[in-house]
Structure 1
Amino acid sequence: MDIQAVQKSYARWAPVYDKTFGAITGIGRRRAVKYINTQGPSILEVGVGTGLSLEDYTSDKEVVGIDASAEMLGKARVKVDEKGLTHVKALEEMDARALKFPDNHFDTVAAMHIVSVVPEPERVVAEMARVCKPGGKVVITNHFARDTGVLSLAERITAPFANLIGWHSDFRIETVLQEPSLKLTDKRTLPPVGMMTLLIFEKEA
């Protein structure tokens, strides 16, 4: 999946995202933010989308969100304005493979349900690690492919349509476990029916 395909797909999804895929991922997103709220103040959310998570951060945080989709960011900016989310410091259009932030900059870097969407996910995770402070956290929630069962069959059937539906249904968890500077410290299965997984990494000091 290339960046143009991602942008086109999410331009289509933007008007209905909150009530469709956004609703399905709500529990995982809220649990991720609940954990992030226990960490340091500076947060980068990679793939912030329509900004569904933004109102869940506590007011003492300083949140920056980036996304490749101008249409999704437009929805996020409306939420920030309408709800007075002053803890959201910036929302920027950006390719997650080349983050425009210095090394060791954020206390926590989060990616909620986007690593199976982006081109070159290993490169995205490496960039997330680069901009995270030593000892900081990288938090990822996503659906990962299963090896058996009915859902595994459905994942394989829909995999060829990644550019159309906007994500890789057969995305392997091993893809995000390869960054040498990140140590996996927690792994939690999330509803609905264990479809989603929360991963917490610590960047080596």
Structure 2
Amino acid sequence: MTNDIDRDGVAKAYARWAPVYDLVFGAVFEKGRRASIEAADRVGGRVLDVGVGTGLSLSDYAPTTRICGVDLSEPMLRKAQERVRTMNLTNVETLAVMDAKTLAFADNTFDAVVAQYVITTVPDPEGTLDDFVRVLKSGGELILVNHIGAEAGPRRMFETAFAPVARKLGWRPEFPWERLVNWASRHGGVTMIERRPMPPLGHFSLIRYRKA
């Protein structure tokens, strides 16, 4: 796959979004965020939240779920750190600047990995998913919320036309479901246990995999 999104470009895009991210995207993505957190809380234990951003989701986790949050954007993480202090979120163990594809954690560390709206924003989605699974314990869950591109029709045409602009904003609107299917087949160590449409308009999906 071509790396049509680059790491520095994503970091710069989200540094620009940091001051207004919660206002612009908070309500739009709320149901997807809550669905992924509910899934993670059912697993419990220690959870890695990749692309934690401004920490908008941190207070929604159960107090008994221990959270490590990572993000490529330092300006976003500063807001998350302020949120942790203000709300006294003692179950948040750490927040760190980190590349999603090269996570600085040992193999088999987490009971669940949550990635909300992340996979369409990284240069190498398949390699990033591989690293998510690497840090999961056996039987752990990979929980994604992601925009899935239309296969055909007017929405597909719009997503394809909008793609060059979207890349400058830091994401791929035309990301196809087939890429996730092919990745899981090639990886061989995960089983999909749920795919559920999410608002707005079902253009997003909650997708859960279990590590063998």
Is 1:131 the counterpart of 2:135? The answer is yes
Letter in 2 for 1:190: M
Letter in 2 for 1:42: R
Query: Moved runs in structure 1, 4+ residues, more than 4 A?
Result: none
**Structure 2, gaps ≥5 residues long:** none
Is 1:188 the counterpart of 2:196? The answer is yes
Q: Aligned partners of 2:40, 2:12: CA distance in 1, in Å?
A: 30
Q: Deviations over 1:129-162 (max 9, x none)?
A: 0000000100000001002343222211111123
**Structure 1, gaps ≥5 residues long:** none
Give the alignment partner of residue 163 of structure 1, picking from 164, 167, 170: 167
Classify the secondary structure of the residue corresponding to 1:193.
coil
Q: Which moved more, 1:147-156 or 1:103-112?
A: 147-156
User: 1:24 maps to what in 2?
Assistant: 28
User: 2:71 maps to what in 1?
Assistant: 67
Q: Aligned partners of 1:3, 1:170: CA distance in 2, in Å?
A: 19
CA contact (8 A) 1:73 1:93 kept: yes
User: 2:49 maps to what in 1?
Assistant: 45
Classify the secondary structure of the residue corresponding to 2:12.
helix
Pairwise CA distance, 1:69: 0.4
Q: Deviations over 1:92-125 (max 9, x none)?
A: 0001111100101100001000100011011110
Q: Deviations over 1:78-101 (max 9, x none)?
A: 111111111111000001111100
1:52-201 aligned at under 5 Å gives the runs 52-177=56-181, 178=183, 179-201=187-209
Q: Aligned partners of 2:188, 2:76: CA distance in 1, in Å?
A: 32
RMSD of equivalent CA atoms? 1.1
Q: Aligned partners of 1:185, 1:66: CA distance in 2, in Å?
A: 25
Q: Percent identity, aligned pairs only?
A: 39
Q: How many corresponding residue pairs?
A: 204
Pairwise CA distance, 1:171: 0.9
TM-score by length of 2: 0.93
Pairwise CA distance, 1:24: 1.2
Letter in 2 for 1:144: I
Q: Aligned partners of 1:166, 1:145: CA distance in 2, in Å?
A: 16
